[in-house]
Structure 1
């Protein structure tokens, strides 16, 4: 039976690369985006029976509609990959950061991810080996030198890592992990990044299909556990 895998924010970059990798491995991939037309176009580019769904993680009604569509079509969800994120502040200093920018960033990167996990938990419960992969960032690590780059984004990824820990405790039958794709050449990462989207997506694909189900509540990069 093909694993049913939902990837949010998967019309480009790391999410799209992961969709291609997972579809090539025989998974039933669902590409999600708040722009339904872009999601459908991305699914057509991946091919291999890939489907799409309109899903705005900041909107409860949109999330609930996506849950219903996937339940009606597949009856379960095996893997939820939370890839949707925004980066609004780039090189702005913390002392100049507007609180509303931080709130908007947290609303998408953390609250939106929580909203999706809560809504899809019943469908994950119908899987024999459910998994959640939260796409985080090394920018959210506390174990390292302090940095001043993109404070709102960094704070949100640190919070996302704690959400991973909380989900691990709340969902004892689900394999929940955060992952760091590294700095990749995407719309968010820019052209100077050293990694390709495919290299960044490799750990997501591994966590979705190959990693042992006993690997829970960890932060993973290049298929290895790294410090929080």
Structure 2
């Protein structure tokens, strides 16, 4: 079924920055698909947004599970026949205050599975829908911790490596895409959420606004960039 409304999908959309992204995209007139691994919190979030007359639907999806992503892509294709915006927002921060080589390897593996491979498999599964119409905007929610300069500083090793890899993926996919398909990475800053904690200075609403600028850039807009607050920053 084809439709005129632009379609956006946000991973980890049931809370924090993800929830704000879904809400603001829907306010802007998008048909938004909220994904979450937890059906209960996902449905609750969508019901809340539907009460505001926002065009939001729910697809259960675990970014750690390739088959789950594949099934979601099939569902989106069958229901909407298009995808205009993909925001890879789902992420984890599992680091304890241990050196990378001293931590349990499962922490690094789990972090890479969600923060890097999750985004990779999302892009791989959904980019054909963008290529079909020759248009798409992909945004990877990254972190300044993923900058090369951060690698010479101790701490948060698993998280840093996952975001470094995500930044590299952003550049590689940008180099490979054809047509009006753009992919960029964004550092949302330190945000008061389940991950950032209550003392963080920035609200999810502020973070979402800085990310959404890249969802609606024109064909002359950036591709393969790394941004904070609308300004390009160093890799």
> Does TM, normalized by the shorter one, top 0.5?
yes
Q: TM-score, normalization: structure 2?
A: 0.91
Residue number in structure 2 paired with 1:69:
75
Residue number in structure 2 paired with 1:2:
5
Kindly state the Cα deviation for residue 67 of structure 1 after the two structures are TM-superposed: 0.8
Unaligned runs of at least 5 residues, structure 2 = none
Residue number in structure 2 paired with 1:224:
231
Question: Alignment partner of 2:148: what SS?
Answer: coil
Kindly state the Cα deviation for residue 145 of structure 1 after the two structures are TM-superposed: 8.1
Residue among 41, 45, 49 paired with 2:48 = 45
Q: Which stretch of the first structure deviates more once superposed, 185-194 or 205-214? A: 205-214
Residue number in structure 1 paired with 2:60:
54
Q: TM-score, normalization: structure 1?
A: 0.94
Kindly state the Cα deviation for residue 130 of structure 1 after the two structures are TM-superposed: 0.5
Question: Alignment partner of 1:192: what SS?
Answer: coil
Residue number in structure 2 paired with 1:176:
183
Q: Does 1:18 align with 2:21?
A: yes
Question: Alignment partner of 2:232: what SS?
Answer: strand
Structure 1 residue runs of 4 or more that deviate by more than 4 Å after TM superposition:
none
Alpha-carbon distance between aligned partners in 2 of 1:202 and 1:49, rounded to the nearest angstrom: 19
Question: Alignment partner of 1:94: what SS?
Answer: coil
Are the counterparts in 1 of residues 151 and 160 from structure 2 also a CA contact under 8 Å? no
Alpha-carbon distance between aligned partners in 2 of 1:90 and 1:41, rounded to the nearest angstrom: 31
**CA deviation vs aligned residue, 1:156-203 (integer Å, no higher than 9, x gap):** 001100010111122233200000000000000001111001111112
Q: Which stretch of the first structure deviates more once superposed, 77-86 or 118-127? A: 118-127
Alpha-carbon distance between aligned partners in 1 of 2:160 and 2:210, rounded to the nearest angstrom: 20
Are the counterparts in 1 of residues 9 and 85 from structure 2 also a CA contact under 8 Å? yes
After TM superposition, list the pairs within 5 Å mapping 1:80-95 onto structure 2.
80-95=86-101
What's the RMSD between the two structures over aligned residues?
A: 1.6
Are the counterparts in 2 of residues 137 and 180 from structure 1 also a CA contact under 8 Å? yes
Q: Does 1:150 align with 2:153?
A: no
Are the counterparts in 2 of residues 10 and 19 from structure 1 also a CA contact under 8 Å? yes
Unaligned runs of at least 5 residues, structure 1 = none
> How many matched pairs?
228
